[in-house]
Amino acid sequence: MTLGLLPMESGGGGYTPPGVDDFKWDSMWPGVLPDWFNKPFAQAVIGALLVIILWWIASRNLKVKPSKGQFAAEYIYEFVRNGIARDILHSDFRKFLPYLLGLFSFLLVNNWFGEFFLFMYPTFSNVGYAYGLAILSWLIYVGAGFKKWGFGGFLKKALIPEGVPGYLLPIVIPLEFLATFITRPITLALRLFANMFAGHLVVMVFVVGGGFLITYANNTFFNVAGGVSLAFSLVIMLLELFIGALQAYIFTVLTAQYVSTSIAEAH
Amino acid sequence: MGTTPTPPGDNEPKGPTGTEDGMVVLSYILAGLIFYGGLGWAGDYFLKTSWLLPVGLILGLVLSLYLIIKRYGSGT
pLDDT tens track for A164-210:
888 989 989 999 999 999 999 999 999 999 999 999 999 999 999 99
Q: What is the pLDDT of residue A67?
A: 86
ipTM: 0.74
Each residue's pLDDT tens digit, A150-161: 999 999 988 888
CA A174 to chain CA centroid, nearest Å? 29
pLDDT of residue B18: 63
% residues pLDDT > 90 (chain A): 62
Q: What does the pLDDT read at residue A202?
A: 94
The nearest alpha carbon in chain B to A267 belongs to B76
Nearest Cβ partner of B23 from A82, A182, A254? A254
A179 reaches B (C-beta below 8 A): yes
Residue B10, pLDDT > 60, answer no
Which positions in chain A touch B56 (Cβ < 8 Å)?
none
pLDDT at A63 over 90: no
Question: Residue B2 pLDDT > 70, yes or no?
Answer: no
Exposure on the CB side of residue A134, measured as CA atoms within 13 A:
21
Greater pLDDT, A44 or A216: A44
Q: What is the mean pLDDT of residues A240-267?
A: 90
Q: Which residue of B has its CA nearest to A178?
A: B31
- Residue A168 has a CB neighbour count (10 Å cut-off) of 14
Task: Determine whether the interchain pair A183/B67 forms a contact, defined as Cβ–Cβ distance below 8 Å.
Answer: no
CA distance A188 to chain B (A): 9
Instruction: Examine the pLDDT at A266 and tell me if it is beyond 70.
Output: no
Decide if pLDDT at A4 tops 70. Answer: no
With CB atoms and an 8 Å threshold, state whether A187 touches B23: yes
- What residues in A contact B72, CB-CB < 8 Å? none
CB B43 within 8 A of CB B49: yes
Of the partner residues A88, A171, A175, the one whose CB lies closest to the CB of residue B31:
A175
User: Does the beta-carbon distance from A179 to B76 stay under 8 Å?
Assistant: no
Confidence band (pLDDT; 50, 70, 90) for A7?
low
What pLDDT is attached to residue B74?
A: 60
> Domain map of chain A by residue range?
20-263
pLDDT confidence of residue A164:
84
Interchain proximity A172–B67, CB inside 8 Å:
yes
**Mean pLDDT value across chain B:** 78
Q: B42 contacts in A (CB within 8 Å)?
A: none
**Is residue B4 classed as helix, strand or coil in its secondary structure?**
coil
- A254 → chain B, closest CA residue: B20
Q: Taking CB atoms and an 8 Å cutoff, what residues of chain B touch A194?
A: none
* A174 inside 8 A of chain B by CB: yes
pLDDT at B8: 47
Residue among B9, B17, B27 whose CB faces A183 most closely: B27
- Please tell me the predicted confidence (pLDDT) of residue B4: 45
Per-residue pLDDT, averaged over A68-94, amounts to: 91
Cβ pair B24:A90 closer than 8 A: no
pLDDT at position B5 over 70: no
